[in-house]
Amino acid sequence: MRVLMISKACLVGIYQRKLEAIARHGVTLLTLVPPAWRDERGVMPLERAYTDGYQLETLPIVRNGDYHLHAYRGLGARMRRFQPDIVHIDEEPYNLATWQALWHARRLRARTLFFTWQNLDRRYPPPFRWGERWTLRAVDHAIAGTASAAQVWRAKGFAGPLTVIPQFGTDPDLFHPLGERPSARPFTVGYVGRPGEENGIHLLLDAVARLDGAGRLSILGGGPLRAELEARAARLGIAAHVTFSDQIPSTQMPAHYQRLDALALPSLTRPNWQEQFGRVLVEAMASGVAVVGSSSGAIPDVIGDAGLVVPEGQVDTLAAALRRLQTDTDLRARLAAAGRERALTHFTHEQVAAATVRVYESLLAVSR
């Protein structure tokens, strides 16, 4: 079975563990990524971290940083040389890169699938609406990251086979508990991700300010709102208790989680967005870190009963949840253990890879 995957997400080193796991199932896998990806946090270069058993190659990218309109130079020629049985398009169906890959794959008579996180029924203007409709008619299979995303595409008229699988899992050997917590460490809450209005970090700052100076907050991830958030921390009188750090290589993330006592994801639903998954929750749970998330989007389904879920937008409730974790060390330990167990049971790279390979096998069975 020869599979060609197009995925800018696989620039991230720790995500490449899934690719190794797919290859171990006997798949001849070529993954194409851009040399780097640019967004509001800066430039993310390719991290060649885990490359055993498959090919990881770069192609030049046009309109780098344009989520909807980026495309790859030389994609058709590379696909013709590889002659895939299946083309796995790790992009949403309304993106130019998806249309490009699907068009070339159909010319090669390869089976095709796309991946989607989109969990809101958004209507796009032309040409995105036209390209989305063509993709839904032309593609052979869809993978949705969550059940709510799957419902969106059924409502939009996709009638083909559709499977719910997270885009990536986590590696429990890389992400694991530290062991004995340093007794001198103050209670430390972490946030990991792009600081944006919809991420609710301003609410998290307000909540930490209510921990009576006994808590610390670590915010990891650059972005345009950082200066505004630093000013807010200063106004709240907690600037000395808050650390802002730029994005770090993915291979350093396991050690970062081990320095936290809790991870918070206070996402806020907006008309054009709600939390699609929150994979930092899964990484934190695998690391034995207690998690707190809002009720936005997929967060309650990811956390299950292995953490605390609070109504989105309510600072008082968020602060109370953090205070519980700060003062009740038994609760914190129970949730840390439950989170680790939930990550091992539902969210490993091995499980995601096995489910993905079953989709590949179903595509080839239909083809034959």
pLDDT tens readout for residues 298-348: 999 999 999 999 999 999 999 999 999 999 999 999 999 999 999 999 999
Residue type, 39: D
pLDDT of residue 197: 78
d(CA 216, CA 199): 19
Better-predicted residue by pLDDT, 212 or 79: 79
User: Percent of the chain having pLDDT more than 70?
Assistant: 99
Q: In whole angstroms, what is the distance from residue 182 CA to residue 162 CA?
A: 46
Residue 343, C-beta contacts closer than 8 angstroms, at least 6 positions apart: 170, 172, 175, 282, 285, 286
Q: Around Cβ 131, how many Cβ atoms within 10 Å?
A: 19
User: Taking a C-beta distance cutoff of 8 angstroms, is the pair 173, 14 a contact?
Assistant: no
The lowest-confidence range among 100-114, 143-157, 175-189 is 175-189
Question: Phi first, then psi: what are they for 270, rounded to 5°?
Answer: -125, 165
Mean pLDDT of the chain: 94
Give the pLDDT of residue 247. 87
Sign, CA dihedral 39-41-43-49, equals negative
Determine the average pLDDT of the residues in 60-73: 96
pLDDT band at 198 (very low <50, low <70, confident <90, very high): confident
Domains of the chain listed by start with CATH number: 2-169+348-367 (3.40.50.2000), 187-346 (3.40.50.2000)
| Interval 99-114 mean pLDDT | 98
Residue 214 CB contacts under 8 Å (≥ 6 apart), including other chains = 186, 187, 326
d(CA 79, CA 223): 35
Residue with the bigger pLDDT between 231 and 181: it is 231
Residue 364 has pLDDT above 90, yes or no: yes
Report whether the peptide linkage leading into residue 127 is cis, meaning its omega lies within 30 degrees of zero.
yes
Lookup: tokens for 38:
């640019």
Confidence of residue 368 (pLDDT cuts 50, 70, 90): low
Residue 337 has phi, psi (to 5 degrees) of -70, -40
Report, as an integer, the average pLDDT of 238-260.
Answer: 94
pLDDT at position 129 over 70: yes
DSSP H or E segment with residue 299: helix 299-303
244-272 mean pLDDT: 94
Percent of the chain with pLDDT over 90: 86
What average pLDDT score do residues 3-17 get?
97
Which residues, including other chains, have CB under 8 Å from residue 104's CB and lie 6 or more apart? 75, 76, 79, 80, 87
The 10 Å Cβ neighbour count of residue 345 is 11
Evaluate if residue 79 carries a pLDDT over 90: yes
Helix (H) / strand (E) containing 131 = helix 128-138
Confidence at residue 176, expressed as pLDDT on a 0 to 100 scale: 95
